[in-house]
Structure 1
Amino acid sequence: MDLFLSITPVGICMLDERGELVDFSKFPMDPEGAAKRLHLVKSGEAIEELRDLVSRWIGSIGTLYLESSSLRDLVLREFPGINAKVAPNMDPFVLFRRRKREFMASISGIKEEELQNLLIDISLSLARIQIKEELSRKDLLIMKAVDYLDHLNKSLNILMPAVREWFSIYMPELDSIVEDHELFVRAAMTIAENGGEDDLLRAGLPKEIANRISEAMKKTLGIGVREEIRDVISVLSELFKTREKVEKYIERLMRDVAPNLSDVAGPLLGARLITMAGGLEKLAQLPASTIQILGAHKAIFLHMTKGTKPPKHGILFQAKEVKTAPRKLRGKIARLLATKISIAARIDVYGSDRSVGRKLREEIDERLAKLKGG
C-alpha cells in the first residue's frame, strides 16, 4: 500500500492514495510543546510521534511518500529498510492541503474557529525557539572570539617585556618614554625604518610622546637597529593589528546580538560578561547582584573561606566608570551598572526594542553625575 505522510502544526498525518486521513499522531495541545516538536522535525531530529505512527504501518507500507527530502532522510535514518520517496505535488498531498484545517481540527479535537488562535500561538512559540537558537549560535561566536582575544592578549603580555628589553640595546630611552605596549611597537617600527617625529605622529603616537622620542633619538646611546629585531617588531605589529580586527568583529556581533547590552556596558565588556555567564540568555537570567561580582572568583573564595571582605565588583572593574572612580564609590557604581546590564540583557533576549540601551545609558550617566557631585 502506498501511504503519504504529512507534518502539521498539531500532529503528523498518514494519508491514503485519495488524500484521506487514515491515522495520525497528535502533538501536545500546548503551543510550546507543539512548537518544540515541529522544530525538532525541521532540524532533522526524530520525535516519538513520528516513530509511533510509522511503526504502526511499517508492515503495510509499499512506498511512503513525503513532502521534503529532509523528512525522507529522517525517516530513512529511523527505518532503514523502508521505501521512501519525495513527492510533494502528488494528488494525495494536494487534496490533503485543501482540507488541511478540517483535518487539523479533527486531530486536535477543537472547533475549526478556535483552531486559528492555536495556530497563531504555535507559530509564535516556534519563532521564539528559532530566535533563541540563532542567538545561541551567535553567542558561541562571541564567546570563541573573546577566548581567542584573551589568548592573543596573553601572548602579547608574555612577549612584550622581552621585546622591550631587547630593543633597549638599540634605544634604551624608549622603554621609559612609552608605557603602552602597542604604542611602543609602533614607535619601535618607526625608529627601525629611520622615521622622524612626523612619522611617529602618523603612526598614532601622541604629540608629546612623539616629541620626546624624537629628542631622545638625537642623543641615544644605543646602537643601530638590526634586521632581526626589526622582523620581531614587525610580527608584533601584525599581532596588534589582528587584535584590533578581532575587537571590531566582536563589536559587530554584539551590535547585532545584544545592542542594548552594548550601549550600557560597551561591546567588549558586554561580550566578556556573556562569555563568563555562558551565553546571553544565561546572563539575562542572573540577578544584578551576581552580575556585579561576576569574575571575582578568587575574592569570593577568600571571603567564604577566610572571612575577608566581600568583593564589590568583578570584571565590571574594567568599565571606565568603575576603574576611574574614587575607591569609595566603586561599589555603588558597579551596582548601578549591574542593575542596568541585567535589564539590557533581558530585553536583548526576551524583548524586541533595540533602543532601550541608550535610555539606560542616559540614566547611568545622570546617576554618575549625582554620585560624583556628592
Structure 2
Amino acid sequence: MSGVQYILYEEPTGYALFKVSFPSDSVGARLKEVQEAANDLALFSKLLTLVSFAPFKGAAHALENANDVAEGVVNEHLKNFLELNIPNSTKKSKKSKATLGVSDLKLASGIKETFKGIECDTSEIVQDLLRGIRLHGAKMLKQLQDGDIERAQLGLGHAYSRNKVQFSVQKNDNHIIQAIALLDQLDKDINTFAMRVREWYSWHFPELYKIVSDNYTYSKLILFIKDKVSLTSESLHDLAALVNDDAGIAQSIIDAARISMGQDISETDMDNIVTFAEKVVNLTDYRKQLHAYLIEKMSTVAPNLSELIGEIVGARLISHAGSLTSLSKYPASTVQILGAEKALFRALKTKGNTPKYGLIYHSSFIGKAGQKNKGRISRFLANKCSIASRIDSFSDTPSTKFGAVLKRQVEERLNFYETGAAPTKNADAMQEAISAPDVMEE
C-alpha cells in the first residue's frame, strides 16, 4: 500500500495543498519521526512542500466552504483547486491514483466520489502532519501576513457558529421549549404560593377560604379587603366586581366578615400578607400572558400540530423531543410513548405491560375514547402527530389545513370505534388537504 502523497489543509483563509517530501513507502514506518518533527519548524518544513494555496474571496465565501467541508461536499472552488494541482486526479486508473491526506471522513468520501484518480487517507500520520501544519501554518504559508490566520479564524468561527444556530425567526422552536418549561414552573410556584397565602390570611379571615376557591380571585380579594373590619354594605358593588359580578357571593363575604372567628392582625403583618398576595396576582397575570404567547408561537412554528392536538400538548412534545426537527424524525411508535420512558423501561425490565401513551394522554381524544379503545386511538393519534410535525418542520409556508384534516380523521376514527361508521381514507384526506387553500387560522 502506497503512502500519503499530498495533504489538503483547510485554512480559514483558503485551501492549501502540500506535497509529502519523504518516500511514500516509508510513511507508515516514520510515524514517530513525524510526531517529533511536528514540534520543530526546521524539521517539519523538510517533510512537506507547499504546492499551492487558493485563498477565499471573502468572509461569505469562507463560510460557504466551511459549511460544505462540514457536510462532506466538494464544491466547485475545491474541485477546481484539486484538479489543477493533483496530476491525473480525474483519470480512472489504479496505477496512477494519487493519495490525498484529509482531516475529515465525510470530506474524504466526497472527494473519492468526485475524483476517480484520488484515494483519500485519514490515518494517524495524516492527523499528525495536519497538526504540524496548524502549528507552523503562519510561517509555511508565506502569502499570508502576521495575524491574518488569527483574524480569519475568529471571524469564521463566529460566522460558522451563528450560521449553525440560526433558524428562521418565525420557525424558531427554542422559544416554545423555554416557554412551556417556564409555564410548568409557574404553575407549580403559583399553586405553592397561593396555598401559603391562603394559610396565612386564614388566621385573620378563615371563612373566606370556603366561600372563594379560585386562587387568583382569593388573592385579589385579599388586596381589596385587607382588614375584614373594613368591609361594610357599601363594599358590595366593588366586591361583586371581583367575583364575576356575583352579588350573592359578595354578600356572603360581607356577612362572613361580620361574624368571623379569625383573630385580629397587626398592620405590619397585614402589609406582608398584602405584598405576598400581590406577588401571586402578578405571577398569575404573567402566566396568562405567557400562555397567550405560547399559543401564538405554536400557531406560527407548528400550526398543524397545534390544530391537531392543541398548543400545550404540542409544545410539550416539542420540548421533550428537544426540537421540532427532532420530533419530526421520530417514528409514530416513539411519539406515542414520548414522556413515558420510565414506565417503558420498567415494563421491559419486569417483563410487564408496556405503556400505551405518554404525553399525548393529555389530549382530549384519549379522554373521549372508551377504556378498551384508549390504546388504539393513542396509536392512531401518534401517527397523525408524526405526520403533522413533519409537515410543520419541512414546509415553507405555515398553514393549518393539514392539521384540520388530520384532526377530523382522528374524530372519525373515534366515531368508527363507537358506531362502526367508515372513516375517510388517508389518500382522500391528504388530497383534500393539498387542494385546500393555504389559510392560517386567526
Q: Taking structure 1 as reference, are residues 227 and 327 closer, same or farther at Cα in structure 2, changes over 3 Å only?
A: farther
Distance in 2 (alpha carbons) for counterparts of 1:316 and 1:164: 34
Q: Confirm or deny: 8 A CA contact 1:197 1:211 kept in the other structure.
A: no
RMSD (CA atoms): 4.7
Equivalent residue for 2:256? 219
Checking the alignment, whether the CA contact within 8 Å between 1:292 and 1:314 is kept in structure 2 is yes
Structure 1 pair 330–161 and aligned structure 2 pair: CA distance change class (3 A): farther
Distance 1:287 1:159, change over 3 A: same
Partner of 1:271: 315
Could you tell me how far apart the structure 2 residues matched to 1:367 and 1:61 are? 70
Distance 1:159 1:320 in 2: 29
- CA distance in 1 between counterparts of 2:201 and 2:154 reads 66
> Are 2:403 and 1:363 aligned?
no
- Aligned pairs for 1:25-174 within 5 A: 58-61=140-143, 73-75=151-153, 133-134=166-167, 138-174=172-208
The normalised TM-score by structure 1 is 0.61
The equivalences for 1:197-212 within 5 A come to: 199=238, 202-203=241-242, 205=243, 211-212=248-249
Do the aligned residues in 2 keep the contact of 1:3 with 1:62 (CA within 8 Å)?
no
| Cα pair 1:169 1:222 within 8 Å, conserved | no
Match of 2:329 among 270, 285, 291: 285
Measure, in 2, the Cα distance between the counterparts of 1:297 and 1:63: 56
Q: Call closer, same or farther: CA 1:314–1:187 in 2, change over 3 Å.
A: farther
Deviation at 1:370, TM superposition (A): 4.7
**How many Å apart are 1:160 and its aligned residue?**
2.5
The equivalent of 2:438 in structure 1 is none
Offset from partner CA, 1:58-99 (integer Å, 9 cap, x none): 5441669x9xxxx99325779xxxxxxxxxxxxxxxxxxxxx
Q: For each residue in 1:135-158, what CA deviation from the matched residue of structure 2 results, as whole angstroms up to 9, or x when unmatched?
A: 699233322222222222222232
Are positions 1:297 and 2:297 aligned together? Answer: no
Contact 1:295–1:314 under 8 Å retained in 2: yes
Counterpart in 2 of 1:230? 274
SS at match of 1:134: coil
**In the superposition, relative to structure 1, how do residues 77 and 239 fare at CA in structure 2: closer, same or farther (>3 Å)?**
closer
- Within a 5 Å distance, the mapping from 1:341-356 to structure 2 comes to 341-352=385-396, 354-355=398-399, 356=402
Q: Tell me if the contact between 2:208 and 2:256 (Cα under 8 Å) persists in the aligned partners.
A: no
Identity of aligned residues (%): 28
**One-letter amino acid of the structure 2 residue matched with residue 5 of structure 1:** F
| Deviation, structure 1 residue 55 | 5.8
Aligned match of 2:27: none
Deviation (angstroms), 1:275: 1.0
Q: Give the match for residue 245 of structure 1.
A: 289
Question: CA 1:314–1:174 in 2, change beyond 3 Å: closer, same or farther?
Answer: farther
Give the 3 Å change call, closer, same or farther, for CA 354–181 of structure 1 in structure 2.
Answer: same
Structure 2 unaligned blocks of 5 or more: 1-52, 66-74, 87-99, 115-129, 157-162, 421-442
Report the alpha carbon displacement of residue 345 of structure 1 after superposing the two structures with TM: 0.5
Task: Check 1:76–1:185 CA distance in 2 against 1; reply closer, same or farther (3 A cut).
Answer: closer
* Cα distance in 2 between the residues matched to 1:198 and 1:143: 43
TM-score by length of 2: 0.53
Equivalent residues of 1:177, 1:213 under 8 A apart: no
Tell me, in whole angstroms, the C-alpha distance in 1 between the residues paired with 2:235 and 2:383.
49
Contact 2:240 2:250 in 1 (8 A): no
Query: 1:148-179: per-residue Cα shift (whole Å, max 9, x none)?
Result: 22222222232222222223234333434444
Residue matched to 2:43: none
Alignment size in residue pairs: 296
In the other structure, the counterpart of 2:429 is none
SS at match of 2:56: strand
AA matched with 2:381: L
- CA–CA distance in 2 between the matches of 1:260 and 1:131? 26
Q: CA deviation at 1:240?
A: 0.9
Structure 1 pair 206/330, CA: closer, same or farther in 2 (3 Å)?
Answer: farther
Specify whether residues 76 and 258 from structure 1 end up closer, same or farther in structure 2 by C-alpha distance, changes over 3 A only. Answer: closer
Q: Is the 8 A contact 2:236 2:254 kept in 1?
A: no
Worse-superposed segment, 235-244 or 221-230: 221-230
How many Å separate the matches in 2 of 1:63 and 1:4? Answer: 13
CA, structure 1 residues 293+14, in 2 after alignment: closer, same or farther (shift >3 Å)? closer
- AA aligned opposite 1:237: V
2:355 to 302, 311, 315: 311
